[in-house]
Structure 1
Amino acid sequence: MSQLFSKDVIVIVGGLSSGRHIAPLFNGLGYKCIHVCTKSAFEHPIFSPTFNPSDYIESYVLHSEDGAEEVVRRMRGRNVKAIIAGCEPCILLADRLSVMLGMPRNAESLSTARRSKYLMHERLGRCGLTSVKHLLTDRLQDIYDFHDQIGGKIVLKPEAGANTEGVYYCNTRGQIADAVGRILGSKAIFDDFTEVNAKVLAQEYMSGKQYLLNTMSSDGNHYICDAWGEVRPNDDAPSNDNYADLVRPGTALYRSLAEYVTRVADALGIRYGAAHFELRMTDQGPCLVEVGARMSGNVDFSVLYEIHSLTQLSLLPDAMLDTQAFVARIRAASASTKEARKVYLSSDKAGDVLREPNLRLFTDIDTVRSVLFRLAKGDRLYKTDRSQGHGRPGHLYMVGNDADEIVRDYERVRHNEQLLYETMLLP
């Protein structure tokens, strides 16, 4: 049997969540991939099922930052072409390895500011960009005083969390005390190495619609791959959205969001690779909630490719390996004419799943392109409440030629969603 050995390798740090797509992409281009990950991320129940060991020729799971030295030693004799962060918990480790191996990378001095939501906004303020009022402390009285100063709802969260983990909206001192008690001393399991949350980040609550923007950068050239506006029934709790609609390029709204995001990327030293931005459109204009220097999670890239072929995934090889080609592609880009909606599924029922879910209730609808559903026969269906740890049962993508198609079929999606839950629970 013939064997191909190539010195050229791609190092993927945390090939989990959406990062699991990176290795197959580069393998298909003829590269060999090496996986590096922190133990806390590798064993996390959300991330661990997404890892595919067959995508890599070598894999290293690090128990501490000291393990980075050993990884660098093992790279001797190989030609590392790029180091890419695959998921949120491994961003700092990817930055460190990029420095140690001399790879094209984001600004080294701002690495921590791209993970710490406190330093992130401190940096924006120093750069003259719209940022949120905030406080980082371990003292409950400090947060009471901050709440009095703001004069309304505030947001409490870990300094470097993700996926709305440990995020609380607070209107009263009782709610504040409860949230602080939950955050302080809890494990920061989404951080690069498992630590304990020693402080609480308090922020002013920002009213206004929330937007999600996904970008790709190469040597400081930024491209907005897709932008979404989230719609929610109320804003009493974080991430209770019904759906997110694609924001069409060329509109004044899109230009406003894109201009602000580009300036934020520059301010935070994002120069290479993907980034996922969450913003609020306030009375003063766009304001950052947070950014992660990695691809967006829970994405069906085939749907995004149908909408507009320049996705975070399809642009990644040129962004990391050939800036000239990257710039040529984004300059030749033409705006998509498609309409799209990402629908967040939500159950108001609970019970044991006694039948396999009939997903044809969704897929038979014309504009529904793909469905991700997390439950099967034998599982437990909970009423969706992310604050209680009961996440969404799934999501789906809708794509159409005009907005009327999406609106028409959306009503059918919601109707069929209720039928789905009812039939799943029937003996």
Structure 2
Amino acid sequence: MALTSTSSMPSTGSPRVGAVAVVAPYGEAGRHAQEYARRGWKITAVTLPAHALPAQHREGTDLSDYPDVIEHVGGLRRTARRLRERGVSAVIAGSGIGVPLADRLTRALGLAGNDPGTTALRTDRGVQAAALADAGLAAPRVLRTASLAGALRWAESSRLPAYVVAVADSSAAAPPAVCRSAAEISTAWRRLRRAAHHQTGTHDLVIQEYLPGRQYIVHTVSSPASQHAVTGVWAEERTSQHVHTRSDLMASPSLLVRSLYLYAMRVLDALCVETGPARFRMVLTGRGPTLLSARAFAEPPLAAELFELTAGIDHLREAVRASTTGLVRPWVDDQTVSRFVSRVSLIAPREGVLDAQLLRTVTTLPTVRHVVGSLVAGAAVRKTVDRQSSPGELVLSAVSRQAIEEDYRVIRAVERLGLYDGAAL
């Protein structure tokens, strides 16, 4: 099954060499620069002035992989002129905060790209839900507001079993909170309001209906020729406290994946995605796949080299390929997927210390291919309340799903045996 859709004739995809501007490459460890350099492209990083950055990014970022850096000062025309002088033929967002400027620069340079007038569709949870509802697509009921009082009034009038409070900017790393009472909404609102200001520079949040069930992450890439392709689908599992436990790469030819794909194609059009990468978080409801949030930039995956080796999937690399060749590559068929891949989050039930012997047991299991995070014997860990507070992740890969399941059960058993009850160094 070729998971691709074309609304017009694609380009020939002939390799070309050009120059690219990566806007606001914060927190991506130079991966955009490295991928474009592999293809012989010239790279320019476009940074934002300190006063325009949220607090999270004001301490700067490592731009050593970028041979050329310019700061966006003096207005759009000045930055566009400087990029034109460099022969820039592609503009991409290096992070969520760079999406609005990347859209505007693309238009100013006369390049194929997304309409800057529709940027909010690709960056704002509240705007996304409204657009999908207008298009007749499944979407959660939602209110976008900076007012806690307004959120509480909306929740009282909606009378739903549970709600989700989240930062309106879909690129924010702060995890949403599931709330079942006015008190829980108030507590989550204050915490996420601070997180929103720190990470995005605004206080805007959304409150929306909670849609229970397994969540799915769908990666897509669109070409300038309006060709869309799914480049990967991951199924997530969470605890009853909504803490991430594992993500499993899904094989493409299945009815479930097909339904996620068809919905994603319609979402891409509803959110006016014409070029570049997108990342959708979905859940299955009685109406079928339902979008929870969308992002319009590619984040470097953890252990990217491993994912490429085991599954041939790297969202960022596929996005770079599309911008340099004009082609998107449809997701691999099951005949070419020779290995299964899972990402397992360690979950500490309380503060503790990593036990040396038990840590060695889980990190040397047959299917463990990579360790993400500082998993060091004797290191202190805090209670896991979300993915960011997990002690670390283990990437499992094997030729059979059964082998992964066996090692997954061992990991959870070792945690119960005392993985976090070690002695401090």
Determine helix, strand or coil for the equivalent of 2:330: helix
116, 120, 129: which is aligned to 1:108? 116
Q: Does 1:391 align with 2:389?
A: yes
Give 1:204's aligned amino acid: E
In angstroms, what is the RMSD of aligned CA positions? 3.2
291, 314, 317: which is aligned to 1:288? 291
304, 309, 312: which is aligned to 2:315? 312
Q: CA deviation at 1:347?
A: 2.1
Count of aligned pairs between the two proteins: 404
Q: Select between 284-293 and 218-227 the one with higher mean Cα deviation.
A: 218-227
| Distance in 1 separating the partners of 2:398 and 2:344 | 14
Q: Does 1:130 align with 2:141?
A: no
Q: List runs of 5+ in structure 1 lacking aligned partners.
A: 1-6
210, 214, 218: which is aligned to 1:213? 218
Q: Does 1:174 align with 2:183?
A: yes
Q: Select between 214-223 and 284-293 the one with higher mean Cα deviation.
A: 214-223
Q: Select between 287-296 and 16-25 the one with higher mean Cα deviation.
A: 16-25
Provide, for residues 338-384 of structure 1, a one-character-per-residue CA deviation record: whole Å limited to 9, x for no partner: 2221111222343578x999975444222112111136689752112
> Relative to 1, partners in 2 of residues 1:421 and 1:138: Cα closer, same or farther, differing over 3 Å?
closer
| Distance in 1 separating the partners of 2:178 and 2:51 | 27
Map 1:43-54 onto structure 2 (within 5 A).
Answer: 51-54=61-64
Q: Does 1:90 align with 2:91?
A: no
Q: CA deviation at 1:290?
A: 0.3
C-alpha contact 1:217 1:274 (8 A) present in aligned 2: yes
Map 1:350-365 onto structure 2 (within 5 A).
Answer: 350=351, 361-365=361-365
Provide, for residues 47-91 of structure 1, a one-character-per-residue CA deviation record: whole Å limited to 9, x for no partner: 978x442211222355x7x55444223224221121111222221
Q: Select between 152-161 and 263-272 the one with higher mean Cα deviation.
A: 152-161
| Distance in 2 separating the partners of 1:45 and 1:356 | 34
Q: Does 1:345 align with 2:346?
A: yes
Determine helix, strand or coil for the equivalent of 1:261: helix
> Relative to 1, partners in 2 of residues 1:87 and 1:379: Cα closer, same or farther, differing over 3 Å?
farther
1, 5, 20: which is aligned to 1:10? 20
| Distance in 2 separating the partners of 1:352 and 1:40 | 40
> Relative to 1, partners in 2 of residues 1:143 and 1:75: Cα closer, same or farther, differing over 3 Å?
closer
TM-score (norm 2): 0.84
> Relative to 1, partners in 2 of residues 1:101 and 1:400: Cα closer, same or farther, differing over 3 Å?
same
C-alpha contact 2:20 2:90 (8 A) present in aligned 1: yes
Q: Does 1:73 align with 2:52?
A: no
| Distance in 1 separating the partners of 2:55 and 2:291 | 27
Partner residue, 1:200: 205
Give 2:306's aligned amino acid: V
Q: CA deviation at 1:137?
A: 3.1
Q: Does 1:255 align with 2:258?
A: yes
Determine helix, strand or coil for the equivalent of 1:54: coil
Provide, for residues 302-353 of structure 1, a one-character-per-residue CA deviation record: whole Å limited to 9, x for no partner: 2321233253233233311222xx25x4388665242221111222343578
Determine helix, strand or coil for the equivalent of 1:366: coil
TM-score (norm 1): 0.83
| Distance in 2 separating the partners of 1:309 and 1:186 | 35
Q: CA deviation at 1:260?
A: 0.6
Determine helix, strand or coil for the equivalent of 1:280: strand
> Relative to 1, partners in 2 of residues 1:362 and 1:118: Cα closer, same or farther, differing over 3 Å?
same
Partner residue, 2:370: 370
> Relative to 1, partners in 2 of residues 1:44 and 1:358: Cα closer, same or farther, differing over 3 Å?
farther
| Distance in 1 separating the partners of 2:381 and 2:69 | 35
Higher relative contact order (CA 8 A, sep 6+): 2
Q: List runs of 5+ in structure 2 lacking aligned partners.
A: 1-16
Q: CA deviation at 1:129?
A: 1.1
